[in-house]
Amino acid sequence: MMCFFKQLTMLLFYFLVLVHSRVHDEENIGLMNDKNSLVSFMSYIISDPENALKSWKLTVVHVCDWSGVKCNNESNNKRIIELDLSGKSLGGTISPALANLSLLQILDLSGNLLVGHIPRELGYLVHLEQLSLSWNLLQGDIPLEFGSLHNLYYLDLGSNQLEGEIPPPLLCNVTSLSYIDLSNNSLGGKIPLNNKCIIKELKFFLLWSNKLVGQVPLALSNSTKLKWLDLESNMLSGELPSKIICNFPQLQFLYLSYNNFVSHDGNTNLEPFFASLMNSSNFQELELAGNSLGGRLPHIIGNLPSSLQHLHLEENLIHGSIPPHIANLANLTFLKLSSNRINGTIPHSLCKINRLERMYLSKNYLSGEIPSTLGDIQHLGLLDLSKNKLSGSIPDSFAKLAQLRRLLLHENHLSGTIPPTLGKCVNLEILDLSHNKITGMIPSEVAALTSLKLYLNLSNNELQGILPLELSKMDMVLAIDVSMNNFSGGIPPQLENCIALEYLNLSGNFFEGPLPYTLGQLPYIQSLDISSNQLNGTIPESLQLCSYLKALNFSFNKFSGNVSNKGAFSSLTIDSFLGNNNLCGPFKGMQQCHRKKSYHLVFLLVPVLLFGTPVICMCRDSIIIKSKVKKKLQAVSNRCDLEDEEVETKEIKHPRISYRQLREATGGFNASSLIGSGQFGRVYKGVLLDNTRVAVKVLDATKDNEISWSFRRECQILKKIRHRNLIRIITICNKQEFKAIVLPLMSNGSLERNLYDPNHELSHRLDVIQLVRICSDVAEGMCYLHHYSPVKVVHCDLKPSNILLDDDFTALVSDFGISRLLKGDANTSTCNSTSFSSTHGLLCGSVGYIAPEYGMGKQASTEGDVYSFGVILLEIVTGKRPTDVLVHEGSSLHEWVKRQYIQPHKLENIVEQALRRFSLSCVLRHGSKIWEDVVLEFIELGLLCTQQNPSTRPTMLDVAQEMGRLKDYLNNSFIREDNSIEK
């Protein structure tokens, strides 16, 4: 009997061991299946530039240790519950095998370069709670199977290229959804919600920038917890959804701009809509712009929640007056009512909104005087009252607006004089008083506003007197327009101190006397109009040497003498010289210049022969002595090769090139050899005796202190750095009377010439592939300077004209004249270079490319170079110079592109125009989709690099890697397409 029980016990033990072994095997099988799913996912990834999957090795048994992978805490049943590979720039497609991660709760692949369709198999992940695939390049439809994800509460598919309609099961079956973001795609159709679809937990519903049509479904009113509703930039229609909005007591953000909504009662009544927002006690932002909404602004607008901060009602059909009750919105910081049909006067009560920072009332029918009480809005930084019917004078009280940066009062009926107290607005960047009836002189206090960075426009008024010399203190202003006034006297030669000036219009006045030679020394001047004045004398030759000058108008003055068609004048026609009867030159329609016969020489010859011999004899010895001295001086100047003042230059062996050789190589530094000019000198092309083609950078010796510093700095940096994408130095010439840097001549010119110069033979021939490679080259060179160079360098002046292209269109970064050397780590912002004030012209870069923090006194930093690189990317895509956008749009290129980016039709227009400008020979073969991806990548990377906050910008190392990935993406795409074509 005992033996029987013993055998039974043994059998029971073996049974338990067998059961445990089977369970353990099943657990191992589950984790092994998870591992196989990840291996399959990895096989679909074709690029991993950040080595995000480096730890994904088959030899690593514990898959839970792989990067981005998280398992549950159950020791007996470990399974993968989270896969987070966001922001790793992975390229490739999404493997359907991810559906085998059967216990997965979180899947985040956002911020990568994934292409192709979203696998419908992901709809089988029934335990999934969070799914984010945003900011990729995914195409196709949203899978219908996503309607089976019953535990999903967070869904983000935004910023892809998804098409088709939103699948109804997604919104009807997944009732647990709290966050839905399908924005910035190309989704069409209606919003699929009906009375059977109730998403009670919904708090964030983001569908902006799609192609949705129809009305906002009434069933959305069941989502009573909604906080954020963004339907902007679609094609939605119908009345404003008042009956829906009133059910959202927790609503904070409502964006309905740029649709086809109308107001109630046949587009005549806005009151029901504003009434529907009364119960949303935490409401902060309302945007209704661009909907053609009709009706008056109701008085109850002042009863909106006091928490309201932003109110956008621009580009509608709103009429009537501005209700004074709007002043009850005490926390409002942004008010935009421009481009409507609003009339009446500006309420004095607006001064009660003391937190207001920006107020736009332009393009309306407002009349009466500008209330002096507006000067009491302490935080006001922008005031735009332009294009109305305002009258009276400009209030003196504006002097109290210490934060005011932009004052736009143009195209009104203002009269009186310019108040001198405006000179107290020390932060003013734009002042536009044009097209009014303002009289008197320009107050010296206003003329001395050195803070003006963008433009001063006083044109089309009744101003008189002379131009105050204080205008020359505006060393950061881009444009000055005082045309069509009654100014008289001479043009001040001191205007040459406005070193950032690109646009100068003095036409339609009574200026007299000669045109100052110094205007030709403005380093960045592009447009000069002095027509319809009473100027006389000859036209200064200095203007011909302005390398950026493209628009000139000398017409209807009293100029005389010979006019050349060289340099900047080569593109002009007779239209630029009309009404100057005493001018002669080679232009069609202009009288030819004739040399006068020198008969008087005959009469001079006789007395010279009679009395000149003794004089010649007396002077002979003196002439001989002087000629010997001259020969010695010439010999000294010919030995200028490498006598650098710094001992460090002896480290590099440069070839010896004499001053005489440089003169001969450049034709005596002739204007025909001039290929560029800048603030510190001019650049000439030449050929040495050994047929080496060189560019000779001759520095302006008249600016001793600045040139000496700039020359030493460029030599100091060029001899320390070595990289294939940085310009190399051939030799230098450093004498007190002559300083030059000899560089190899880049046969394909600068990036700027290739982008803009219509006379450049290679202009507009760059294709997308070349542009990607050029930008990648620049990023590599800058990355070396910031992260790998023996001395950490901040370039400080990165722009297209400083990017040179060699025979193979390899890009080389040049011009280190104002660069900074950093102490210690490349990411620190401490400089050991001499600081210059803006009056010296060293603004840490060129206007339009300067990082915004530099304007607030911050020192040069690597983040500033990243900003400049981002501007270049946006400039390439848009074809717009950043300075042109500043003048014409009143904003930075970053701000302008960002506004276009959130509006699909405008973004598509930018992409389409970019592809038209680039050479599209490859597009015909490979199709246009890949090129659109590249242009969008340029835009997005450019926006990232030009963010206002320097700390949020990527490093140049990140940028170089991103550009490298983009270059690889192009190469891989071509290889795949070529293989498919061969097959």
Q: Which residues are catalytic?
A: 797
Which residue in this structure is represented by tokens 């059961």? 19
Start-to-end CA span in the chain (Å): 79
Which residue in this structure is represented by tokens 């649709």? 259
b/e burial code for range 437-454 (CB count within 10 A of at least 16 → b) = ebeebbbebbbbbebbbb
Distance CA 829, CA 820 (A): 10
Give Cα separations from 13 to 18, 22, 492 (angstroms).
9, 14, 108
**Residue 162 is inside which H or E element, if any?**
strand 161-162
397 and 374 in contact (C-beta within 8 Å)?
Answer: yes
753 contacts: CB under 8 Å, gap ≥ 6: 760, 762, 763, 801
Distance CA 557, CA 108 (A): 69
**Residue 390 is inside which H or E element, if any?**
strand 389-392
Q: Helix, strand or coil for residue 59?
A: coil
Closest CA to 438 of 470, 422, 460, 420: 460
Specify the amino acid at residue 32.
M
387 and 411 in contact (C-beta within 8 Å)?
Answer: yes
* 697 annotated ligand-binding residue: yes
Distance CA 116, CA 121 (A): 14
483 and 509 in contact (C-beta within 8 Å)?
Answer: yes
Closest CA to 945 of 830, 790, 782: 782
Which residue in this structure is represented by tokens 């000139």? 552
Distance CA 316, CA 294 (A): 7
Distance CA 854, CA 948 (A): 11
Per the rule left: phi > 0, alpha: psi between -120 and 50, beta: everything else, 153 is alpha
Q: Helix, strand or coil for residue 552?
A: strand
Phi and psi angles of residue 228, each rounded to the nearest 5 degrees, phi first:
-140, 115
Distance CA 82, CA 108 (A): 8
339 and 363 in contact (C-beta within 8 Å)?
Answer: yes
Tokens of 511: 């200026």
Angle between helices 862-878 and 893-901 (to 10 degrees): 60
892 and 874 in contact (C-beta within 8 Å)?
Answer: no
What are the binding residues?
A: 697
Please enumerate, by residue number, every residue annotated as part of a binding site for ATP.
697
